């Protein structure tokens, strides 16, 4: 029986993964090694019972008593904390879903690769902060990383049987997020609730807000570079409000291979789960005649400074990705907490990058998990200082 684990099982990607696992036979078809979550202990316990997991892990120590109580008598082991997440990743499995949100997802995924497992990677932050390390670790242990982000799954699928050396460009699409049609003046006053509703995709709150600011697409540009090893100047972003074309790959002969599908993450998750087969998936089939038209436009650089920052980060290299992601996460925390406005997020990230690259040269030095973590901590601390200064000025 195939052994599987799901990290971030209680999140949006985790729920979709669970849904597919249950539809594909659940505990009769899969041996579930570990399921992990955060504060949603009741849901984690229910999933662990349904899949008869070996162990359920919450990221938070204070959630352990509730998890233990919820799983009493089930025979399922329980654990809590960062070290327990790593231990869960060290339990051999054939397929592991990496769907924790944020930089917290890096270490468990990194550990899982040591067992030559297949890592289905939704946690894009892993590639943004430590792409070269992750890819090298996978190569070293004969492990495979399969992309789960919809755009990257689309590119991966368009590249089946193709030679990456013949790729001229990769175009990833962006819906434009919640505010794509808002006048710029209104953006400064956009509320958390307004930023948390996506026109096409149903996702976790953080990635939904990152879609409105295009920080999500900025992370995905870097993710494209790291995963496919393609030069930054060959990566393009195209606004496509319908979210039906997920990505396009342009080849040396001028051909463009596009991937289309309903905006449902179960496609990309299912592709990674069943790969290299294509098994039936419960996603809507597109009726293109009913849809009629698809539209595309170039992203407005003034509206989406995050995209420019992504290219600056790629030019810097080294730990710049870790600083960028951590500053973004801290700025997002600040926005959600009502401490800074929507447009200030990009300003905070830009200030952190400028300060850190002048201070220590973010592009320098060998990349290691330790200096990624250290850069992450420094960027978060600096972002909080910058946000404090911005509040004082305002
Ligand atoms: P959610 O916020 O919905 O879920 C996050 C999961 O991680 C939950 O299980 C949560 O637990 C857990 N978690 C939160 N904080 C921590 C922590 N510090 N340590 C360990 N676990 C933690 O996120 P999404 O499912 O939306 O996104 C997950 C990842 O997938 C992200 O990297 C995102 O960018 C990527 N992704 C998501 C897409 C989507 O459609 N949602 C599309 C493409 C990529 P709990 O809820 O129990 O507290
Ligand atoms: Mg995506």
- Structural Rg of the chain based on CA atoms: 20
In angstroms, what is the span from residue 216 Cα to ligand 1's centroid? 13
| Phi/psi of residue 276, nearest 5 degrees | -85, 5
Rounded-to-10 torsion of CA 218, 220, 223, 229 = -90
Give the pLDDT band (50/70/90) at residue 9. Answer: very high
Contacts of 238 (CB under 8 A, 6+ apart): 171, 172, 173, 174, 248, 296, 297, 298, 299
According to DSSP, residue 237 is labeled: E
Does ligand 1 have an atom closer than 6 angstroms to the CB of 124? yes
Question: What ligand is nearest to the CA atom of residue 60?
Answer: 1
What DSSP string runs through 15-64?
HHHHHHHHHTTGGGTEEEEEEEESS-HHHHHHHHHHHT-SEEEES-GGGH
Ligand 1 within 6 A of 201 CB? yes
CB 123 near ligand 1, within 6 Å: yes
Smallest CA separation from ligand 1 atom 39, residue: 203
User: In the prediction, which pLDDT does 394 show?
Assistant: 60
Question: Ligand 1 pocket, 37 CB below 6 A?
Answer: yes
For a pocket test of ligand 1, which of 197, 207, 261 has the largest count of ligand atoms closer than 8 A to its C-beta? Answer: 207
Give the closest residue (by CA) to ligand 1 atom 16: 38
Tens-digit pLDDT profile for residues 19-33? 999 999 999 999 999
| Cβ(218) – ligand 1 distance below 6 Å | no
Ligand 2 centre distance from Cα of residue 105 (Å): 16
pLDDT band at 360 (very low <50, low <70, confident <90, very high): confident
What is the pLDDT confidence band of residue 366, given thresholds at 50, 70 and 90?
A: confident
Q: Is 104 in the pocket of ligand 1 (CB under 6 A)?
A: yes
Q: Is the CB of 132 under 6 A from ligand 1?
A: no
Instruction: Determine contact, residues 348/298, Cβ cutoff 8 Å.
Output: no
Q: Is the pTM higher than 0.95?
A: yes
Residue of 393 and 291 predicted with greater confidence: 291
The residue-averaged pLDDT of 173-181 equals: 92
14 lines ligand 1 (CB under 6 A): yes
Look at residue 392 and tell me whether its pLDDT is greater than 80.
no
Which residue puts its alpha carbon closest to atom 42 of ligand 1? 149
Looking at the DSSP bridge assignments, the partners of residue 250 are 169, 256
Q: How many angstroms separate the alpha carbon of residue 223 from the centre of ligand 2?
A: 10
Is 316 in contact with 362 (CB distance < 8 Å)? yes
Pocket test for ligand 1, best of 5, 38, 208, 214 (most atoms within 8 A of CB): 38
Atom number of ligand 1 nearest to Cα 123: 32
Question: Which residue's alpha carbon is at the smallest distance from atom 9 of ligand 1?
Answer: 8
- Cα–ligand 1 centroid distance for 364 (angstroms): 31
Among 113, 91, 85, residue whose Cα is nearest residue 3: 91
Beta carbon of 11 within 6 Å of any ligand 1 atom? yes
Task: For residue range 219-229, list pLDDT tens digits in order.
Answer: 999 999 999 99
Nearest atom, ligand 1, residue 40 CA: 47
- Please indicate whether residue 8, judged by its CB atom, sits closer than 6 Å to ligand 1: yes
CA of 265 to the centre of ligand 2 (A): 9
Residue 299 has pLDDT above 70, yes or no: yes
Q: Ligand 1 atom closest to Cα of 15? A: 25
Banded model confidence at residue 288, pLDDT cuts 50, 70, 90: very high
**Is the Cβ atom of 263 under 6 angstroms away from ligand 1?**
no
- State the average pLDDT over residues 312-323: 96
pLDDT of residue 71: 98
- Strand ranges, E, within 44-136: 55-58, 77-80, 95-98, 118-121
Q: What pLDDT band is residue 207 in, cutting at 50, 70 and 90?
A: very high
Angle at 259 between CA 254 and CA 263, to 5 degrees: 150
Cα 12 to ligand 1 centre (Å):
7
120 lines ligand 1 (CB under 6 A): no
């Amino acid at each position: 029986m195939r052994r599987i684990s799901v990290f971030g099982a209680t999140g949006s990607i985790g729920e979709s993964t669970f849904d597919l696992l249950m539809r594909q036979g659940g505990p009769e078809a899969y041996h579930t090694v570990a399921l992990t979550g955060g504060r949603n202990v009741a849901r984690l316990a229910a999933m662990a019972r349904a899949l008869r997991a070996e162990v359920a892990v919450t990221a938070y120590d204070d959630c352990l008593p509730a998890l233990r109580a919820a799983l009493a008598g089930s025979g399922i082991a329980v654990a809590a904390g960062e070290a327990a997440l790593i231990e869960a990743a060290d339990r051999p499995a054939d397929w592991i879903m990496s769907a924790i949100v944020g930089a917290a997802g890096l270490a468990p995924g990194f550990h899982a690769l040591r067992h030559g497992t297949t890592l289905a990677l939704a946690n894009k932050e892993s590639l943004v902060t430590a792409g070269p390390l992750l890819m090298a670790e996978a190569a070293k242990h004969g492990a495979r990383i399969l992309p789960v982000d919809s755009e990257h799954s689309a590119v991966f699928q368009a590249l089946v049987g193709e030679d990456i050396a013949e790729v001229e460009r990769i175009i990833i699409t962006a819906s434009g997020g919640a505010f794509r049609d808002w006048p710029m003046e209104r953006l400064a006053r956009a509320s958390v609730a307004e930023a948390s509703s996506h026109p096409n995709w149903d996702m976790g709150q953080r990635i939904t807000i990152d879609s409105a600011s295009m920080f999500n697409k900025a992370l995905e540009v870097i993710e494209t570079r790291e995963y496919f090893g393609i030069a930054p100047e060959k990566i393009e972003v195209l606004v496509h409000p319908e979210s039906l074309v997920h990505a396009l790959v342009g080849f040396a002969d001028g051909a463009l291979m596009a991937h289309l599908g309903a905006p449902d993450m179960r496609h990309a998750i299912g592709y990674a789960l069943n790969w290299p087969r294509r098994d039936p998936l419960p996603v809507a089939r597109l009726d293109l005649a009913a849809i009629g038209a698809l539209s595309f436009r170039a992203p407005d650089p003034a509206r989406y400074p995050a995209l420019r920052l992504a290219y600056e980060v790629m030019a810097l290299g080294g730990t710049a990705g870790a600083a960028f992601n951590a500053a973004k996460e801290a700025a997002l925390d600040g926005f959600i907490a009502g401490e800074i406005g929507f447009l200030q997020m990009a300003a905070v990230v830009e200030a952190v990058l400028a300060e850190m690259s002048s201070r220590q040269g973010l592009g320098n030095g060998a990349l290691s998990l330790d200096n990624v973590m250290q850069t992450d901590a420094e960027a978060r601390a600096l972002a909080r200082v910058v946000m404090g200064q911005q509040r004082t000025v305002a």
